[in-house]
Amino acid sequence: MLSMSNLGSVGQAASYYAEDNYYSQDENQAQSEWQGRGAELLGLSGQVVTEDFTAILSGELGEQQLGRYAGKNDKGEVERDHRPGYDITLSAPKSVSILAEVGERGDVRAAHEAAVSQVLSYIEKNLVGARVTANHVTEFEQTDNVVAARFAHTTSRDLDPQTHTHVVIANATQTQDGQWRSLSNELLYKNQHLLGSIYDSELAANLRDQGYRLETTPEGRWEIAGISKEQILEFSKRTQAIDQRLESLGLTRATATGEERETAALHTRSSKQEVDHSALREEWKDRAQTVGIDFKSIEEERVKGTQ
């Protein structure tokens, strides 16, 4: 599943991703990485450091400062109006999350991350550019570079296993003349459904290549074989809360609009909290055993699928 949204203020965004999103600050930075040709042009690589992340989201790129002049503050400092960027979140099906985070299958997590990389590669090669004005004519220029900060997470707000990755794309791209400009986002939003399909198909292909058997659900989605609907529901408190909210409004996921589903998600969203991930994973394992998830059997079937 893929969701996309505009980032809010720089301060909120920097705190959300780089400090307290289900991790302590140090732990969260260890789960992060700079990505994209734009990041390479700026000399950004490895873990995402909060100071660099904040500067990029603020539109500070080398000696350039992006954004419209918005006056001066009480200290006489120039202020600029600049949108920080965009959050593209890619979340795996629940059976994938159970195997990756509860069963601690590194190959499953790697299959997810490889699918995320394919989505980012497609975005960079096909969907990014800037509006450039020359001789009083403004045209779209494809730039093929993004500055992206990637954050890998394992947990939902309700503390269920949820394999997901935030790809935070800064509102900046370098044009042919070497100047940094704000990113034109029309193609990103226009192709949101396509990007979700790329992630889904790449993840499914990666898992099949590893020997996992996939089953189609009645809703037309897929899950890894060997994990039942009832077992999935045990680790799906967030999904159940959203469904209950929709039901109270006389709606279902099938009948609700995208906006109605998003509103239901916001109304049922728990506040963030820092947790002990080692203790949480042991709790997940106890719950998995209680509902009869047989990781050994799934692994044996996977091995057969590779032969």
- The CA-atom distances, in angstroms, between 12 and each of 16, 49, 146, 273, 306 are 6, 15, 21, 16, 46
CA angle 211, 192, 15 (to 5 degrees): 90
Structure tokens given for 27: 């732990």
Report how far residue 205's alpha carbon sits from residue 306's, in angstroms, rounded to the nearest whole number: 13
Element (DSSP H or E) covering residue 174? strand 173-174
For the chain, how far is it from start to end, CA to CA, in angstroms? 30
Catalytic residue of the set 17, 23, 86, 199 = 17
The DSSP annotation for 33-55 comes to: EEESHHHHHTT--SS--HHHHHH
Report how far residue 187's alpha carbon sits from residue 201's, in angstroms, rounded to the nearest whole number: 20
pLDDT of residue 304: 87
> The tokens 């059997």 sit on which residue?
297
- The CA-atom distances, in angstroms, between 160 and each of 27, 52, 225 are 18, 31, 20
Report how far residue 250's alpha carbon sits from residue 257's, in angstroms, rounded to the nearest whole number: 12
- DSSP lists the bridge partners of residue 169 as 86, 148
**Active site annotation includes 199:** no
Q: What is the dihedral of CA 238, 244, 250, 253, to 10 degrees?
A: 30
pLDDT of residue 230: 92
> The tokens 């091995």 sit on which residue?
303
Residue 268, CB-side half-sphere exposure with 13 Å CA sphere: 20
pLDDT of residue 301: 92
Q: What is the dihedral of CA 225, 227, 229, 230, to 10 degrees?
A: 160
pLDDT of residue 262: 57
pLDDT of residue 77: 59
Report strand pairing: 68-72 vs 78-81: antiparallel
pLDDT per residue over 280-299, tens digit each?
889 999 999 999 999 999 99
Report how far residue 250's alpha carbon sits from residue 227's, in angstroms, rounded to the nearest whole number: 30
**Active site annotation includes 16:** yes
- DSSP lists the bridge partners of residue 181 as 173
pLDDT of residue 306: 83
Report how far residue 258's alpha carbon sits from residue 93's, in angstroms, rounded to the nearest whole number: 19
Report how far residue 110's alpha carbon sits from residue 1's, in angstroms, rounded to the nearest whole number: 17
Report how far residue 144's alpha carbon sits from residue 239's, in angstroms, rounded to the nearest whole number: 36
Q: Three-state DSSP class for 162?
A: strand
Mean pLDDT by 10 residues, the chain (307 residues): 85 62 45 93 91 90 76 61 89 96 94 97 95 85 94 86 93 93 92 95 96 91 93 78 63 61 55 70 92 94 86
Structure tokens given for 157: 């707000």
Report how far residue 165's alpha carbon sits from residue 149's, in angstroms, rounded to the nearest whole number: 10
Report how far residue 113's alpha carbon sits from residue 107's, in angstroms, rounded to the nearest whole number: 10
